[in-house]
Structures are given as structure tokens and as C-alpha cells.
Structure 1
Amino acid sequence: MRIGELTRSQCVVVAVTGTTAATLAVPGYLHRVRHEAGGELVRPPDSRYAREVVECAVDELSPAVLAHSYRCFQWSTAFAAIDGLRVDPEQLWAAAMLHDLALGGPDVAGFGCFAAISGEAAARLVARHRTTEDAEAIRNAIAVHFHPREPDEPVAHSLHSAVNLDVVGYRLRELDAKLVTATEAARPREGFREEFGAAMRVEVRRRPRSAAAVLWRAGARLPLASNPLERGAPRSPR
């Protein structure tokens, strides 16, 4: 098996878990997004490490996915606070900005999941600045960010919640409306839903036994299309 691939039994578990979670979240899709002015964004870290992270993201990601990554940093920071988790801001920044490096990308020998490829690439960058343990934490956090079950490790847990919010709207009502308004206006989501859906179709073809591919075949396109954040999102100032 390639790194990140699921066994047949794991595919069944992921499909059932994902479908159940999507079904339970349906009532949340019916709520309108509250927008309030006056929110302040969390300032990204400004170390050499953090600057190299964003340089990598800018070089590798499309504008729509880059905006998604910036939003995920805001969401993950907020969820860490909501869930009472102690996280290293630089590690959270790296996880949020680099988690989609391989989304919809070409095959990489030995890997069967875009999240595993992204995690490996991110870990190599982290290892240039931080400890082996820090690099491993980022690798693992990114590798499981698309699994339906929430991981326990703080950075992984925060990233998982952030990605699920930005892609399908999970836990939206737990966030402060001012933060939502400020984040959506600063990093608009034009084109993200369409680009993400196209990337998922690529994942199904190239890495069919990854968690992303299994969830997409199980119906993940419906919660993506129903994300409340896609309805009436505030626009950036002109």
C-alpha cells in the first residue's frame, strides 16, 4: 500500500463516518451567516520560519486555495481558543498555510493521499527551523486533516476544525460573527468552491483510496455546495 491509502475496511469506516457527520450537520446549513463589523484578525507570526512558510504557500498555491489557507489560520486560532487548547502559533501557521500543497497535484511515488504528500513537504520545511518532533507534528496534523474523525493533538485538532469550517461550514455558529465578517472580507472565497470540487475529482482519479476520494464518492459534494459561508459572503473593500 502507498502512504496514506486506506484499506477496504477503513474505506467503509471513513465513508460511513463522513456520511453520518454530514447528515447530522444538515440543520446547520439552513442558518444564515451573521455578519458584524468591527472584527480584528489574528496577526500571523513574523519569524523567519513563518515568512518561509508563507513564501512556500504563495509559490505553490493558487489564489483561491491560498485565500482558503489564510482563512484556515484565522479559524484554527479561534477553535484552539474555543476548545481550550494550547498551541504554538508558528506551528498552527505552518499547518494552516501548507495543508493543501499537493491538493489536485500530480502523483508522487509511494504516496496515495494528497494530505500525506502535503504533510511530507511541509515537514521538510519545518525541519529546517524546528525540531524533529515539531516537523513530525506538522506532518501528522496535515496528513489527517481530511479524515472525518477529529484528531486529539492540539494543532491537528484545530486545523481539522478549521478546514471543515471553511470547506463545508461545520461549527460555524461557534465563531464570533465579527471574526467571520473580517476574515471573509479580508480573504474572499470567489472561485474556491469550484476549484476545490475540481481538485476532489482529480483526487478520486489519481488517489482513489485516500480519505478525500472516499469522502467525495460518499457524497461530500453536497455539504460543499451547501456551505453557509458561500451564501452572501462579504466582499473585500474596493
Structure 2
Amino acid sequence: PQAPVSASAPGTLPPDDEDAPRFIKRELPRPRGRFTRVEAQRLSFFELTRAEGKATLEEAIEATEHRYSLLRTLEHRYNGPRGELTQVDMENALRQHGIMEVLEERERNNLLTAYAAQRGATGRVGWALGLSPSELQRLTHALHLSGEVENLRERFRSEVLTNSHLTHRLDLLGRDKYLADLGIQKKFTDSLRKELERLVKDSMSDATDLHSLANAVGRKHGAPAELVTRAFERLGLAESLRKQLSSQTLPPSP
């Protein structure tokens, strides 16, 4: 099946907070309906296996995003058959009522939608769905979506590496976590460095210092001068460019 289309505009990246840890589980919305209140006394697991339990489980599925959040919701209200309610206990009850497929379809849609919205960034997908890295990996495998997820990620890798818009490429240079998540950080920075080295050759004669060089490159190629300057610094070009500019402005020796 085709991956859901992201609601975000093409080329729009999710926020990349450099100060935040890469893998933090987002706190999901509180359960709705009958699951909004935690009972002091947990109910028997067998309440879920009775015919009336099907409606309870269907309502719980609608209030959650995946099996891990579903378990966290149910374990507050129900015991398992041998103590704490486990993932296996819950999934057995879902299969008994013939609604495991309902949960799986919801999970597939949520997972692929999140990968599209986060433009292939696995870390951001985990955060958006409230999943740890291991939970996300297990869920992807359980839903047989590993190949489809990798195809999505490859699509976004290709978009990043083939995009010819200079401003967009300069902005991406500040998205270290995103580029690292896709596994293309070095490839991208090497490519952008070569591109800037080529562009500055055409603007050297119009510049006297690094600031005026960034302005000249920005004017010719429709990019903000501050992003060009930042790229010079981050890509290790600034010092050599300063030397070149200094040598061309020195008066000739007598």
C-alpha cells in the first residue's frame, strides 16, 4: 500500500531541537471515555474475554495509537490471568474477539503517517508516537513494515541529496540530527562544501572580506547572506577564504 501523504508542505522538515535528547517518548493524550479514571480495584482479566469485553477493547483501541499505549491504558484497570496484565495477555484477548486486525490497521496508518510527517526521521517518529526506539523497532517488525519504512526513508534521503535550491540546502546544514538519522550527514556536507567552493569562485572578484563574499553569493543565488556565512564556518571554508580574500586585496609589492 502507498504511504499516506504528509500534510506538511513539500520540503518542510520537522523541528530539530539540538538541545533535546534524540529519543524521548512523547506523553500521549490521556485515555478517553471509560478509561479516563483509574479504578482503585482492578477488574479481572476474564472481563475482557467475555462477549461484553469486545466493546471495551474496541473503545480502548479508538482511544490509543498502538499496542503499547493500549497496554498502558488497560493495565490500570485490569489484572492479567496470572498477575499483571501483559502484552501477550492483551493480544490474546484481541485475537479471541477477532479485533487484532483492527488494532494493526490503526497502527499501520499511524506509523506510516508519522514517517511521512517526520520526513523519514526515525527518532522523531518515536517521539511523535510515544514509543521508545526498541518499541518502534518491534512494532515496525510486527506489522511487516520494515521494507515500506525503508523505502520512505530512502525517498527522503534522495530528496535531501538532489535538492538544488541553495537556501534549502543551507538550512539543512543546521539539521544535524535529521541528517544523522537518515544516515547521510557526511555525504550531504561533502556535497554542499563542493557546491559552495564552486559558487565562491564566481564571486571572489566582487568581495573584499568574508561578509561581502557571503552577500555576493547570496545575491547571485537567492540565499540569505547569514546562512551562507554560517555554511562557510561550519564547513571549514572560512579560514581559507579569508586568506584568499586578504591576498587579493593586498597592494602589489614594489
Same fold (TM over 0.5): no
TM-score (norm 2): 0.25
Larger Rg: 2
TM-score (norm 1): 0.27
Q: Which has the higher contact order (CA 8 A, sep 6+)?
A: 1
